[in-house]
Chain A
């Protein structure tokens, strides 16, 4: 068991390794932040390929992005996008689920899926020497899944239990409740993993229909990065995906949700809690908002780095919590902005009061030249590690393609960061950081905190954590407070 000073990614870091002799030194980075050269190809069937060479480690990574996420789930079938992507490998026309797994494992391949509001992702990685077999498997799963009744039923049962398991930990389920309560009936309110009720309603027909509707070459991006030569990789991918029959996929119409006005609070009762987990925020910005890079400078100071205003007050100075942060979750249309932390039951209102006070200070005092200079150096220093590996590059490029962003996102990053002055910061704070219009979601022991937290909002809703779902989604219009 390890405990960390700060919550850190749990990775298999205690790796005792040998040195394979086939590692070659990787070329030195050229000065200035920039994206490595990459190639973009659109095949005749509409599939977009993005290729980045990265020599040195004999691995090849692939990020497959399908432009259908939780927002494509039909009503009352939340979780369908997620279930569908997980079922791809569970049996194809030529391989049973077990055979697929056996072949994947035999080459030490990595294969992971994820579903967000906007898109679905399959990430795979293979040793260079096994890439042909790996790509055969990837193509088989994407192009020829069979969705047997048995596997569909098995996965759905697992997923329903998965939702219940997540509810055993307030920390992991807080974002889902926050999204649901903030967005209500708007598609961003949908839990990407579904809930106990929606999953129970999904049928095999739903899965096949979702697959046939959304998994088309024109609706898909494959980004490849790693130890290859681009022309050869293009050939390998074209061999396997070039014959994928073109079909038109529906676009996903999404309008932005206007920020919530007034203050609303949802208290999710988890009676065994010794701590209250809370998220406070409102609607934020989209992935391609013109203020996006400048806002990162401001937000790193407010709530992203360890020495941020929020963490300084709630952890460093007062010891109320082990962690506090704020984030703009940027999506196709504006995603949530939130400030989040947790504290023992007895200090719930103290921590929330402090959070609101820091937000007020941000508005009243703004940020100095010195603060901003520090944030700029921090962001510039942290960027290269975020694109260190092939899989990071592949996923980033796929997302840029999806959101209509280009290389300037990286190549102009430093210049955009440097352009933030105290005046610019003031404008950004006024525009993007809510103050009087806030949504609160708390998960904690209601009998301890219910009375004390009423003061934060005009309306307070409560819900036991064991109740299926996360928040009522009414058939039309936004969720009504108090319903």
Chain B
């Protein structure tokens, strides 16, 4: 059963009743795996690097006559500057608004007429284009992609109307959602120097002022084929994909990739706090801890830590904050892949009238408990089992697989690092979990963002 709006909420905070999840804890986390058996892969991925530098990865899967094709560009909000924030995301929208062979509106109409559908997303580090289509449309899709990579046209009237769409998106995903507002404030506060501080969708005044020159410069900077990775999963043959990629994509010239982002966020010297006061039925609490980039040795231990703390209703934080103390409707954590040092993000939805400070206190007590005494063997094994099950869930769809292979290739530098993860997880010990808890979950390292409902509730302490 799905809600007839057919839309999932963009923010993880809400407790959904008439959609897929009805458990009180909204536990969202990037899923990780620990395979119990080591062994040869039988999940073959073939790769080829085109002459223009784009790497193409193919995984054949014939169980449905469909294909998922993703293109990852290594450009996102972290490549932006004050005054032109949100440009990567805006550009992502413009990629659908007409090129040379297929004019305005045709990318979508041609793809849908061929039985396909598409989407795209922009994150801090990457912009990803997603196409889903029946196998019969493969050549057409590559033709469409090549057209817009090479010859995207940026028409002034399209720029203007798309600006309105993006402004509406900002209003919907950020301004109209308390979680969106608070998330924006959290990152803006946690980062004083690094580009992760501004929202991916951009500040509204920047949205209103981007120029055509800004867009053209962004295209030149980010959309070189050598700055992209293509992943194709589904009812294809490897040979046909490489052949078509050579025909349509390889001739596109590459150019200079984006300049490196050299700003390093200086160490945070003390707790940071930010408060949002607005109309709301319920308070919100977000906490961010500075952690290393994804490609770091602590990555696996951090994910095991998050699983022990937040995954499932038997997790430490759910049991304490939601079930026993009954301070919140839900708790969860998130740690998205990142090129640069990022945040481990925790959230809680305090119940009406509950002072978020009381929720904080309970959370910190639980985090401290894990620093003082290691997790049990049972908790550790449970976490690894959860991660394995979630791995299989990702593998269920060609969609999940395309995204996984691409994410590993882009964030870890090589999709084959997937195979090393099982060893890495198997090696995570209780002491490792304790070590990363002590290293990263300290008060000086945290930024706390709180939303307090205005004109109303006196919080119970």
Contact = CB atoms under 8 A, between A and B. Distances in A.
Contacts of B35: 18-21
Contacts of B240: none
B17 interface: yes
B378 A106 contact: yes
| Interface band, chain B | 35 or more
B31 A28 contact: no
Contacts of B15: 158, 162, 165-166
B352 to A, nearest CB: 5
Given A17-B404, A59-B392, A164-B352, A322 B165 contact: yes
A2 B381 CA distance: 31
A113 B9 contact: no
B69 to A, nearest CB: 13
A475 interface: no
Contact of B326 (A154, A165, A336, A378): A154
A97 B323 contact: yes
B164 A318 contact: yes
Contacts of A125: 393
A381 B18 contact: no
Contacts, number: 392
A381 B10 contact: no
A243 interface: no
Contacts of B178: 168-169
A317 B105 CA distance: 9
A19 B41 contact: yes
B176 A275 contact: yes
Contact of B385 (A20, A108, A274): A108
A93 interface: no
Interface string B1-44: 10111111111111111111111100011111111111111110
A335 B2 CA distance: 13
Interface in A272-314: 272-275, 305-307, 312
B421 interface: yes
B430 to A, nearest CB: 16
Interface in A421-445: none
Interface in A301-344: 305-307, 312, 315-323, 325, 327, 329, 335-336, 338, 340, 342-344
Interface in A99-151: 101-102, 104-116, 119, 121, 123, 125-127
B121 A4 contact: yes
B337 A16 contact: yes
Nearest to B349: A165
B391 interface: yes
A240 to B, nearest CB: 21
A361 interface: no
Interface stretch (A170-178, A228-236, A258-266, A448-456): A170-178
Contacts of B42: 21, 23-25
A379 to B, nearest CB: 8
A114 B18 contact: yes
B139 interface: no
Interface in B381-429: 381-382, 385-400, 403-404, 407-408, 411-412, 418-422, 425
A255 interface: no
A206 interface: no
B50 interface: no
Contacts of B105: 307, 312, 316
Residue of B32, B163, B281, B381 with most chain A CB atoms under a 10 A cut-off: B281
A307 B176 contact: no
B279 interface: yes
Contacts of B412: 16
Contacts of A175: 3-5
B120 interface: yes
Instruction: Pick the most buried of B31, B132, B393, B403: most chain A CB atoms within 10 A of its CB.
Output: B393
A237 interface: no
B425 to A, nearest CB: 7
Nearest to A391: B396
Nearest to A193: B17
B351 A28 contact: no
A168 B314 CA distance: 28
B34 A18 contact: yes
Interface stretch (B60-68, B146-154, B241-249, B264-272): B60-68
B436 interface: no
B329 A82 contact: no
A169 B175 CA distance: 10
A248 to B, nearest CB: 25
A19 B419 contact: yes
A119 B390 CA distance: 28
A385 interface: yes
A108 B323 contact: no
Contacts of B387: 108
Interface residues of A, number: 121
A132 to B, nearest CB: 15
A343 B33 CA distance: 42
Interface string A66-78: 0000000000000
Contacts of A109: 389
A377 interface: yes
Contacts of B373: none
Contact of B391 (A5, A15, A174, A271): A15
A16 B295 CA distance: 11
Nearest to A13: B403
Nearest to B411: A16
Contacts of A26: 61-63
A209 interface: no
Contacts of A381: 66, 114-117, 133-134, 137
B63 A27 contact: yes
Contacts of A169: 9, 11, 14, 176-178
Given A114-B1, A115-B18, A315-B165, A105 B312 contact: yes
A175 B321 CA distance: 30
A4 B9 contact: no
B227 interface: no
Contact of B329 (A106, A114, A161, A319): A161
Given A21-B41, A26-B61, A158-B329, A385 B113 contact: no
Given A168-B281, A192-B17, 16 more contacts: A12-B390, A19-B419, A23-B43, A26-B61, A58-B392, A82-B17, A98-B314, A98-B319, A105-B313, A114-B20, A115-B1, A165-B15, A171-B9, A307-B112, A373-B113, A389-B396
25 contacts: A1-B200, A3-B121, A10-B10, A15-B404, A19-B419, A20-B388, A21-B37, A21-B41, A102-B382, A105-B386, A110-B389, A114-B19, A121-B1, A158-B351, A307-B108, A315-B165, A319-B160, A319-B162, A320-B168, A342-B172, A377-B114, A378-B115, A382-B115, A384-B134, A388-B397
